[in-house]
Structure 1
């Protein structure tokens, strides 16, 4: 009988105070991994770490970090490694949407922040993790992109381009780290009703002159072949699979989790 067994592994999840990150952290824990719960919002990270510790019989600790600053990332990963004694799995779920306006009207500062958190932040975390994974010649890295990174989004050009960059970064690091027996893959979620989406729905609702629920159906549900939105656990389940030995020969891949809103 096959099972996703991550017992004895240490997983670091960034953005673990947010919807997708929470789902991933919980799935790792349910498979037996100890989890370092990282988020810019320490209180959100602490709540999730407590939930994991009490519900999954594993060790979970919360850490505050800003992924857009490499020094902060390195320092946090150093503390995590000292606390847990190992670093086996990384999932980079920290990110922002940024612009929800006309591309030409988006301030340069917003563009820079989106790229700094989403793309550079992912790279900083990968580099920090590889510092521990490469000497031990093992590790699993799962990045979080989006279907927006595959097809572009007219009113979220900077977000989409940052997510496209994550796909390319994943492929490049997969080639670089393969010699050290490290798997690097990317997940591209589709439509999840996260806090970021809730904010965006207000924009779409106002633009279309409909309610937020009606906007959600038009913008999201009507675009999905299976007709249903995705849940954080859908992303978490695939992340847990990629972090397990069952996926030992999968690397450099970007996998859509979108209910058929996009086909590759």
Structure 2
């Protein structure tokens, strides 16, 4: 494993108690950062903190990223505890159910957008001002290959992740002169608990589109994220990094 230097940096990882977020939090701790895990599931958050305490300084906040007030409270609590936030990995997200677009339940479509797109916006909105004051920050927003290509029967998810890509590009341009790097990743599917929200047919479809012939490993995601949030990433911003196993066509 390449050793990325994140000493003296403090990171916030949303959806950090399981799956991709837990892997990212682990890798950042191993690289010397302290980490605040934000998650809306208290039980899994407590288990994750117990697991990660062996690797470094970790704390947790119960957060619903779809709610502005919840995010604002978490930011203030994190600043009170750690005095600064240098890194944000906006990973929290849901798959939503699978339907044809014209049959997609309106409330479910809105729920996916609220978590996946507005949730990223709420976190960036609340944390970027702190980064601006210290003239330093690294943000990685977790989008999806679905945001570039669109998956059938997943219009809400695909649209939300396309929005994350555009949000990243806008914010990266706005903060480029302030030593803040804002990038996003577009992973292919990784076998995490989010698969429980999907039909077997949809999971099989996603696998069939990956030339590597396998799903992405969460540790492969966290390896890329660790470099993107490091000081070494001093030039690249407003960019999209694929983790698609050859699926991406642009």
Gapped runs of 5+ residues in structure 1?
205-214
Tell me the CA shift for residue 20 of structure 1. 1.0
* Separation in 2, partners of 1:78, 1:112: 27
> Paired residues, what number?
249
CA contact (8 A) 1:190 1:258 kept: yes
**1:143–1:186 CA contact under 8 A, matched in 2:** yes
Query: Which structure has the greater CA radius of gyration?
Result: 1
> Could you say what the CA RMSD is over the residues aligned between the two structures, in angstroms?
1.4
Matching residue of 2:228:
242
Q: How does the TM-score come out when normalised to structure 2?
A: 0.95
Mapped to 2, the partners of 1:42 and 1:62 lie a distance apart of 9
Q: Which of 168, 171, 179 in structure 2 is aligned with 1:170?
A: 168
> Unaligned 5+ residue runs, structure 2?
none
CA positional deviation for 1:30? 1.1
Q: How does 1:83-122 map to 2 (within 5 A)?
A: 83-122=81-120
The answer on 1:232 being equivalent to 2:218 is yes
Q: Secondary structure at 1:245's aligned position in 2?
A: coil
Instruction: Decide whether the 8 Å contact of 2:96 with 2:197 is kept in 1.
Output: no
Secondary structure at the aligned position of 1:149 is classed as: helix
Q: Contact 2:207–2:213 (CA<8 Å) still a contact in 1?
A: yes
* Separation in 2, partners of 1:42, 1:198: 19
The match for 2:240 is 254
Q: Distance in 1 between matches of 2:232 and 2:185?
A: 17
- The list of structure 1 runs, each at least 4 consecutive aligned residues, that deviate by more than 4 angstroms after superposition, is none
**Distance across 1 between alignment mates of 2:156 and 2:197:** 17
1:208 counterpart residue number: none
Secondary structure of residue in 2 paired with 1:6? coil
Q: Note if contact 1:152-1:161 (Cα within 8 Å) is conserved in structure 2.
A: yes
Greater fraction of residues in helix = 1
Provide the rounded CA distance (Å) in 2 between the counterparts of 1:230 and 1:168: 23
How far apart, CA to CA, are the structure 2 residues paired with 1:98 and 1:201?
A: 10
Distance 2:121 2:208 in 1: 34
How far the C-alpha of 1:156 sits from its partner, in A, is 0.4
